[in-house]
Amino acid sequence: MLELIITSTLNGILFGMLLFLMASGLTVIFSMLGVLNFAHASFYMLGAFFGFQISRWVGFWPALFIAPLLAGALGAAVERFGLRRVHRNGHVAELLFTFGLAFAIEEVVQMIWGKSPVDFRIPPSLDFPAFSIFSTNYPAYKMFMLLVSIAIFVGLLVVLKKSRVGLIVQAALTHPHMVAHLGHNVERVFMLVFGVGTALAAVAGVIAGPALVTQSNMAALLGPILFVVVVVGGLGSLPGAFVASLLIGLVQTFAVSMNGSLAGAFGPLSPDYAQSWLSDIWGVTVAQIAPIMPYVLLVLILIFRPMGLLGTRET
Amino acid sequence: MLEVENLHAYYGKSHILQGVDLKIEAGEVVSLLGRNGVGRSTTVKAIMGEVPPQGTIRFKGTDIAGMQSFQIARLGLGYVPENRDIFPSLTVRQNLMLGIKDPRKPGRWRMDDMLQMFPNLAARADTAAGVMSGGEKQMLTMCRTLMGDPELIMIDEPTEGLAPLIVHQVGDLIAEIARRGVAILLVEQKLSIAMRISHRLYVMGHGRIVFEGTPSDLTNNASIRKEWLEV
């Protein structure tokens, strides 16, 4: 039991930090544009595929740096030549633009790499167990993923809170006109933020690619959960995104590893229920409903706390 | 230094500025007076490029009509908007820091100067700017723009909604700005500060300039005051 708790906690934090790598960019971009970037998870996928391709050519370690740079440059170009023009036509146009972009990226990825998973493997230098908890060997690569995510999280926090560029970004999120009147090029700041945000998603893609499955549907699989994170945390709130990332990471990993059911928990108290027509529902295990847990959380949050856990917006 | 000729501006279909002409020399203190809704704020916004301008706007010889706000600001034109747009989550010191356009080229206003001149900003240098009073926020927005070392600063309604004592402090700061050789365009509804510090005054009515002259010219011109200023 203790073993299960420790490994699930580690896995949950790891999944949560990966989510945060993506959610942080998404939420800052949301504050800036006022709309959700539906294509954000697509940059995560591009990161994984770029990482796969580049590591074939020059190895995993250079790929870890080059792939996010490429994806980030692509993201900046999308902002500069796409979104900035679309922005003049209002939020609905922007939303549709990012929606279309997500489909376009998925199709292009399928054309180049096909629909089946590619063989993106953990680099041999990290393919060993880091330590064992009771009987479980915890892989070194997972520890590496965790460390990279935490390093980026700390780096992001320092840049945003302490550097001049970070202060300009913070100010521009709420008062873009005033920042421009002080002589700062706000449009360039926005392009930079978009580039960095998409590059962070790509980092998550490169490091998650070998551990999970690198496939053309990986954006579609992760995208919805990402939106859950951002909404639950509070749209536009970075601390909120952090808390929600960890929460959803932990909820999901714990739910998957649990076999309990309502019948198991309450059955002994009232055996009659177990016999009735409700028995099917009573017999469903927590692991079986794990995939819908984030969405249940989303619905509950929207009903009882529409601004999200740490959000300030009413809408 | 700043020459505006035949400036027009629109909000949607309504024609707000209908040919404004004004001029400010280097180091001069000029006030733009008038009642609410005559287009004073719009004039300043059009000069800064926040409202699309039509007409000629020259600043130090450069035609700035159609340029982006940040480019205009970098030429040395400062703007303090009427809504006291401080950055609430940043500290007072960070707000002031963002006023600096290029950290490698310090201007005539230094952080230490500012904090020394305004003890109440200094006392709150490291607290979030959002919790300050209206008067302190007004001081901070003006100081922040000064950190960018403008040669002309346009200040929109600095005393609106402030207590008389604070109004006096704001007046002192404006006088200090002028003393250091920065030209000022002061947009005001109240006459008191404008009459005290201005070299010249413009009065606006219905999107046009209806009077231009010195404070004593305006004192002697009862009909202008009655028609365009007094309520």
The pLDDT mean for chain A works out to 87
Cβ-Cβ contacts under 8 Å for A53 (sequence gap 6 or more): A113
Amino acid residing at A249: G
A261, pLDDT greater than 90:
no
B169, pLDDT greater than 60:
yes
Tell me the chain B residues in contact with residue A178 when contact means C-beta distances shorter than 8 Å: 81, 85, 87
pLDDT, position A314: 45
Tell me the chain A residues in contact with residue B69 when contact means C-beta distances shorter than 8 Å: 177, 180-181
Contact B73, A182 (CB under 8 A): yes
**Once rounded to an integer, what is the mean pLDDT over residues A178-190?**
93
Give the DSSP H/E element, type plus range, for residue A70: helix A60-77
pLDDT digit string, tens, across residues A130-182: 888 777 788 899 899 999 999 988 998 899 888 999 999 989 988 999 999 99
Tell me the chain A residues in contact with residue B90 when contact means C-beta distances shorter than 8 Å: 167, 170-171
Q: What ranges in B83-209 are assigned the alpha helix state H?
A: 92-99, 111-117, 119-123, 134-147, 164-179, 192-197
Instruction: Indicate the pLDDT class of residue A279, thresholds 50, 70 and 90.
Output: low
Instruction: Indicate the pLDDT class of residue A63, thresholds 50, 70 and 90.
Output: very high
Chain B residue with Cα closest to A172:
B87
pLDDT, position A315: 40
- Which range (A255-259, B3-7, B140-144) has the least confidence? A255-259
C-alpha torsion sign, points A54, A55, A57, A62: positive
Contact B79, B73 (CB under 8 A): yes
Tokens at residue B24, please?
A: 């400010």
The pLDDT mean for chain B works out to 89
> Hey, are the CB atoms on B48 and A181 less than 8 Å from each other?
yes
How far apart (Å, rounded) are the C-alpha atoms in residues B31 and B188? 7
Tokens 């003890």 map to which residue?
Answer: B119
pLDDT, position A274: 55
> Hey, are the CB atoms on B70 and A185 less than 8 Å from each other?
yes
pLDDT, position A184: 94
Number of Cβ within 10 Å of residue B26's Cβ equals: 12
Tokens 């591009």 map to which residue?
Answer: A46
pLDDT, position B155: 94
**Within an 8 Å CB–CB cutoff, is residue B73 touching chain A?**
yes
Tokens 């393919």 map to which residue?
Answer: A127
Q: Which residues of A touch B (CB under 8 A)?
A: 164, 167-168, 170-171, 174-175, 177-187
A263, pLDDT greater than 50:
yes
DSSP letters spanning A194-227 = HHHHHHHHHHHHHHHTTTS---TTHHHHHHHHHH
Instruction: Indicate the pLDDT class of residue B73, thresholds 50, 70 and 90.
Output: very high
pLDDT over 70 percentage in chain A: 91
Tell me the chain B residues in contact with residue A167 when contact means C-beta distances shorter than 8 Å: 90, 94, 97-98
> Hey, are the CB atoms on A182 and B144 less than 8 Å from each other?
yes
pLDDT, position B123: 86
**Once rounded to an integer, what is the mean pLDDT over residues A299-303?**
90
> Hey, are the CB atoms on A175 and B87 less than 8 Å from each other?
yes
Closest chain A C-alpha to B227 CA, distance in angstroms:
34
pLDDT, position A269: 60
B85, pLDDT greater than 80:
yes
pLDDT, position A98: 93
